[in-house]
Amino acid sequence: MKRALRILLALLFIAAVGGGYFYYRSRGAGGATTSSASAETYTQVIQVTQGDLSSTLSVVGQLAAEQSASLNFEHLSGTTELATLAITAGAVVTQGQVLATINDASYRLTLEQAKSDLQAAEETLADLQTPPTALEIAQADVMVASAEQMLEQAKSDLAELRNADLTALENAVKDAQDSLTLLQIQSEQAQRDSLAKSERDLQYSVYWYERRVEQLKALKNPTVEQTAELAEDEVKLADARVDLASVQAQRELTRQSGEAELAQKQVALAEAQAALAEAQAGGNKLSLAQAQLAVSQAEVSLQSAQIARSELDAGADATKLAAAQAAVDKKKLAVSNAEIALAGTQLVAPFDGTILEVNADEGDRVSASSRILTLANLKTLQVVASVDETTIQQVSTGQDATITFDAFPGQSFSGKVLEVPLQGTLQGDVMTYSVPVSLTGAEKLTLLVGMTANVEIQVGTVTNALLVPTMALTQSNNRYQVQVPNTTDPTGSPESVPVEIGLSDGTYTVVTKGLNVGDKILVQFDTSSSSSSTRSTRIGSGAMGGLGGMFGGR
């Protein structure tokens, strides 16, 4: 409705300007008026004027908060249960206020582990950076000396195995044999010692008292003397038996001891004979291998001790220092990430504002992509205008704007373009750019986020510029031109003059090159909707269409 009204006013204005009308027939040399069943063409002479021009771009937008945020647990991995949500839509919150939480037990454990790992890495780095103490140097020297001694002993043992003393081994066999023979002789002698004689005497005494007791017990009417003698002989028999048992036990112990010693001497002889036989055969292969292994191990131990000692003198290796520092940096990053993740278990208000929307309830399963709350600062509002790709080039930061709301007719407010986005959004087949525009003077209105707003952006202003009606411009071969009267032959065809243009408000266009003030140009229009018969492209309607947004309206 607004656009049609403005176009009509522009046409009436053009029709009223100028000194007179010249009519050309389209098929005549001079050209008068062409009439047909479908169209009638008029040509008007217009004088180039100088003046000011202001161009605006009318677009539609929505009211939005300058500060707004959709809050979610962005550091959450997987899904978990929403533990608390102590807020509702419409609530006013302050910056730093906790709005919702999830269980943080596992996150705290991860942080503690990360801190422990960092401490260990820092201690390793500190050890490398700290010069060795006198005690550490002394301990390293002791380790080297001990390793050297172990190596010498291992080499000595190996040499002893490889160079066995056959004479000593033969003597050892002879000594073992002699010792065994001597023991055997001593054992035989023991069989004939006084201990054996005492045993025989005691055996005879026991036998004699046994017969005497049996005889006395056999008497039918023993005398008092015989009864007393029986009692005395029974006592002597018991004593003799005890003495005999003691002597026999002593003899058995002596025998067993002799046999044990004899067995030891036999084992010693066998070992000496085996050692001699082994040496004569070149030594024990397993023992040699074990001795050689012991030498190798001792050499490795000595080398390690020497390297450790030399490292104390040389200081920390640059590669090890760099690796330790890298480990510390890595652990610090892990701690930082764990702290961020722990902090992320709470949804905290990033600024003062009002809760516009709540999208979850306590107990819901949520993930990193789950939008929990929408927060906005309703004290600072702006309009986000939608500008299509055909006109976005006319918009720049800082341009003035006039804003009206359908919800508040008859009231207008001022603003400025805050930013021109570099990235647009494809809507249908047209790329649309969301341009933020400030809003001033509407503080007393009850505005709600999302309200429709009409925005008229002041895209350009020029003063003392050459102005021509936009309908006078035509385009051919990507160049603009105007038609001027034929100065040599007033009845001849108009002449084309190339021009360069600037700002346009749809009705008038600035000419920057090709014309001067007072020059006369021709404006051609027809009464029908059909296009002109000229081969060049007339931009009167094109400019009105391409710059149609400048005429406002929605």
What percent of the chain shows pLDDT beyond 90?
44
CATH number of 509's domain: 2.40.30.170
| Domain count within the chain | 3
What integer is the mean pLDDT of 273-286? 66
CATH number of 78's domain: 2.40.50.100
**182 and 272, same domain (yes or no):** yes
Whether 142 is in a domain gets the answer: no
Which whole-number Å values give the CA distances from 245 to 62, 240, 250, 252, 253, in the listed order?
A: 127, 9, 9, 10, 12
Give CA 52 to chain center in angstroms: 60
Give the phi and the psi of residue 25 in degrees, each rounded to 5. Answer: -85, 135
Poorest-pLDDT segment among 80-84, 171-175, 345-349: 171-175
Whether 400 is in a domain gets the answer: yes
pTM (predicted TM-score): 0.47
Whether 122 is in a domain gets the answer: no
- Neighbouring C-beta atoms of residue 112, cutoff 10 Å: 12
Q: Where among 229, 257, 281 does a domain terminate?
A: 281
**405 and 500, same domain (yes or no):** yes
**179 and 79, same domain (yes or no):** no
**515 and 440, same domain (yes or no):** yes
Q: Where among 281, 298, 327 does a domain terminate?
A: 281
**404 and 544, same domain (yes or no):** yes
Concatenated DSSP letters for 442-463? -TTS---TT-EEEEEEEEEEEE
Q: Where among 235, 258, 281 does a domain terminate?
A: 281
Residue where the block lists tokens 């494809």? 426
Query: What is residue 23's three-state secondary structure?
Result: coil
- CA angle 44–49–51, rounded 5-degree value: 135
Whether 438 is in a domain gets the answer: yes
Query: What is residue 486's three-state secondary structure?
Result: coil
- Tens of pLDDT, residue by residue over 65-107, are 989 999 999 988 889 999 999 889 999 999 999 999 999 999 9
Whether 50 is in a domain gets the answer: yes
Helix or strand run (H / E) with residue 214: helix 194-218
**399 and 516, same domain (yes or no):** yes
Whether 36 is in a domain gets the answer: no
Query: What is residue 98's three-state secondary structure?
Result: strand
- CA dihedral defined by 317, 323, 328, 331, rounded to 10 degrees? -160
Q: Which residue range(s) make up the domain with 181?
A: 165-281
CB contact set of 180 (below 8 Å; sequence gap of 6+): 262, 265, 266, 268, 269
Buried b / exposed e over 443-457, threshold 16 CB at 10 Å, is: eeeebeeebebbbbb
How far is it, in rounded angstroms, from Cα 259 to Cα 104? 81
Confidence grade of residue 308 (pLDDT, cut at 50, 70, 90): confident
How far is it, in rounded angstroms, from Cα 361 to Cα 174? 100
Return the amino acid letter for 523. Answer: V
pLDDT at 225 over 50: yes
How far is it, in rounded angstroms, from Cα 53 to Cα 47? 17
How far is it, in rounded angstroms, from Cα 502 to Cα 100? 56
How far is it, in rounded angstroms, from Cα 515 to Cα 521? 9
**170 and 56, same domain (yes or no):** no
Whether 129 is in a domain gets the answer: no
What integer is the mean pLDDT of 461-478? 91
Concatenated DSSP letters for 386-408? EEETTTGGG--TT-EEEEEETTE
**277 and 360, same domain (yes or no):** no
**What is the structure's pLDDT at 193?**
60
Give CA 36 to chain center in angstroms: 78
**387 and 503, same domain (yes or no):** yes
Whether 200 is in a domain gets the answer: yes
**What is the structure's pLDDT at 203?**
86
How far is it, in rounded angstroms, from Cα 393 to Cα 289? 90
**219 and 359, same domain (yes or no):** no
**432 and 481, same domain (yes or no):** yes
**89 and 220, same domain (yes or no):** no
pLDDT at 438 over 80: yes
